[in-house]
Each structure stands twice: as structure tokens, then as C-alpha cells.
Copies of this chain bind each other. A is one copy, B any other.
Amino acid sequence: MAAHPVSPLAPATYPELPAIPGVRFATAEAGIKYKNRTDVLLCTFEPGTVVAGVLTRSKCPSAAVDWCREHLAGGAARALLVNSGNANAFTGRKGREAVALSAQIVSDALGVPEETIFLASTGVIGEPLPAEKFAGVTDALVSRQAEGPWMDAAKAIMTTDTFPKLASATVEFDGVEVCISGIAKGSGMIAPDMATMLSFVFTDAPIAPELLQRLLQPAIDMSFNAVTVDSDTSTSDTCLVFATGKAPIAPITTAADPRAQVFADALFDVLHALAIHVVRDGEGATKMVSVNVEGATDDASANRIARSIANSPLVKTAIAGEDANWGRVVMAVGKSGEPADRDLLSIRFGDLVVAEAGERAAGYDEAATSAYMKGEDLSITVDIGLGQGRATVYTCDLTHGYISINGSYRS
């Protein structure tokens, strides 16, 4: 009944992320909330580093989100400070003061302008963030700046996460290897839809900030915006991409440059891998599910139907119970409000056709379907039968573990 100490869907091994020229970092125990674990990450970037980002569209964003939104326009980044244990969200004037104090502490320690410092906070909502605690660890953080290990950075930003989340990709331009590495955190309050949970991506590519921003949004839409754990959108969703420009190649400045698409594809690979890690660490998750909708009137409609299925508590509890309950899938299609004709629907679990033309498939095989549902990685595909629209949304099951985690933890 209890939640697993480590998600059963955690990866068997973790990648060794390479150093990114121009990026250094360190972690520390500031004692914001947790004891005996790191809870603060300070990354520093060499001059010339640019930044792009996507932030939550929640109408009640955290103070750090407001700060980032204001300073992303500048496009220049020299530092990133992230803490776990306190989201500094819904903290009013105190929240703005905590953000200002955080930026000032880092600015003083590094001698860089406050507007080049980016901030993110994750943890409990509504508690004032004791930003003065950062001052006590800043000297240590600055003196220990190093190019690795990335695992330490990934661990320092965890909250209810049961495993650290890292991903990396490399592309070669003119014989030069360019790296893109990222970390993320997130386990509950995950339905980014509009932005993402906390994720930080680093590259040595020399790329114009406007172009980076332009490449980022579609990659986010197909990765973090395509996952949901519990339909609850965080106040703190933040994805920032820092590009140091240290790779010795000609700068990539326009979308017309063929390297831009190659870079965008690699960026997507990193974001997608991180997003999948977030679902696989969904609070209480024991099954990973990709919900595919095809044949909808258009892609947007397919996405709304897929999301309706992926967010349905009845679908998610059925998956937890290893029950191929396609009736609940039909229900979720119906409640989405999107164009659908009951008598054209067909539904597959994996490759097994369970329903066709609006009723149970003639060849429905209960034993085979039940056996399939015992797997850890499942796919549900619904063909609406009306058009060419398609979408995929990734989710997990809804288990006793989710209730245990969230019925007792003020996060």
C-alpha cells in the first residue's frame, strides 16, 4: 500500500554526463527544510552565456518564476541558483524580498549583475523562503565550483522525487562535438501542459538567444507538455536552457542554418528523456503509460482527448489494478467534449484490439489482454475514426502510493 522508496520504474543505470565547457556548479546543505541532504545548487556560467526559458502559465506563479520571466528578456546568464524544500510561491511581499535577497547574495559573491542571475525554488507552497540561509553557504558554493559530477546537481533539486533525472545528447558540427545535458526534478503536481517542472539544460553550442528561445517552445510542447502525473499544474514550472557558446564552431544564429534543426532535434531528445523520467517517477507510479490518440479531427483535438484519458482517475486506477478497462477509456473520450462518434471508435491495448466500431472487438481475448496489463510499460491507442489528428500523452497509474504520499506530506 505504501509508496515505494524508489520508483519501480526508475532507470537501472544513470548516464555519466560530460562536462559542458563554460558551466561549473556546486551543491550545499542550506537547511531550508530538509536535514542531512543537499538542497541548494549554484551553477555559474562564463561570460557570453545566453539563456532561453519557458515558465509556468499558472495564474499564481512563484516569486522566482516572476523573476525569471522579467530577466529572460535580457538573454544573458552568469548564474543559476536553485533550492529545494521551499517553493517561495504564494509568499507575497516576503517572496519578492526573498528573491531580491537571493539575487543580491549571489551577485555580491560572484561580482556579476543581478539581472544575469536566474532563480528557481521548489517545495512547500506558502511558507516564507529563508533566503538569508543562502548567505551561509555561498562562500563554500563559490569555492567548490567544478564541472561535475552532474549527479550531485540532479540530487540537490529533488523533492518527492525518488531518483535523480539526467539526460544528455551530443551532435557533431564540422567535426566538433557539441553537448547538451540536462537535469530535471518532478514527481507530483505534474501536468505542465503549458511549461514544465523544474528542468535545467546546458550546452556549449554558440547559439543566438532568440533562436534558442524559438527552438525551445516546440521541443517543450512535445516533451514536458506531453506528460501528466496528476493533472495538477505547478506554480513553479520552469525550464531554462543555458548555452555557453564555448564549442569552437561558427555561431548558429538563424533557423535557416541547417545546424539549427540538428541542434533542435538533440535538444528535444534531452527534454523528452527528462520528461519521461518525470513520469516514471510519478508519485506512487508502478506503470508507465503512453496514451496515443489517432484519427481525431485535428492534432489539438487529439491532444485534448489523450489528456482526458491520461488524467482520468478511473482509467489510472484501472491500470494500477492491471484491468484492461476500455469502458473507462470510452468514458474519458466521451467526457472530453471533443468530436467523437461512439460507433466509430476503436481501442488497442498494446497491439491487442479490444474494441472496434463502438463495441467489444469480435476477437477480444481477455486472457491475452490481462497478461499484457501485467507489464510495466503500457500503451493505450484510441482511433477516433474521424480525421488525421494525432497526439501522444505520457502518464502513470494512480495507486495507493499517490494517496499515501499526498495525504501526509505538506508539499
On A, residues with C-beta under 8 Å from B are 1, 56-61, 87, 89-95, 124-128, 188-189, 191, 230-235, 311-314, 317-318, 320-321, 323, 325-328, 330-343, 345, 355, 357-360, 398-400, 402-404, 406-408, 410-411
Contact = CB atoms under 8 A, between A and B. Distances in A.
A359 B92 contact: yes
Q: Find the residue from A90, A320, A330 having the highest chain B CB count within 10 A.
A: A90
Given A128-B360, A233-B335, 11 more contacts: A58-B334, A59-B336, A60-B333, A61-B334, A90-B330, A92-B359, A125-B328, A125-B330, A231-B311, A232-B335, A399-B407
Contacts of A321: 406-408
A323 B94 contact: no
A357 B330 CA distance: 43
B327 A410 contact: yes
Contacts of A314: 188-189, 230, 232, 406
B357 A232 contact: no
B317 A406 contact: yes
Contacts of A94: 359
Given A59-B333, A317-B403, A317-B406, A90 B328 contact: no
Contacts of A313: 230-232, 313, 398, 402, 406
A331 B59 contact: no
Contact of A403 (B232, B359, B398): B398
Contacts of A338: 59
B126 A343 contact: no
A339 B338 CA distance: 24
Given A95-B359, A335-B233, A359-B94, A330 B57 contact: no
Given A90-B359, A342-B90, A330 B407 contact: no
Nearest to A56: B334
A330 B88 CA distance: 13
Contacts of A61: 334, 342
Contacts of A230: 313-314
Contacts of A326: 126
Nearest to A357: B92
Q: Find the residue from A127, A323, A355 having the highest chain B CB count within 10 A.
A: A323
Contact of A359 (B93, B234, B399): B93
Contacts of A336: 59
A335 B311 CA distance: 14
Contact of A334 (B91, B235, B318, B332): B235
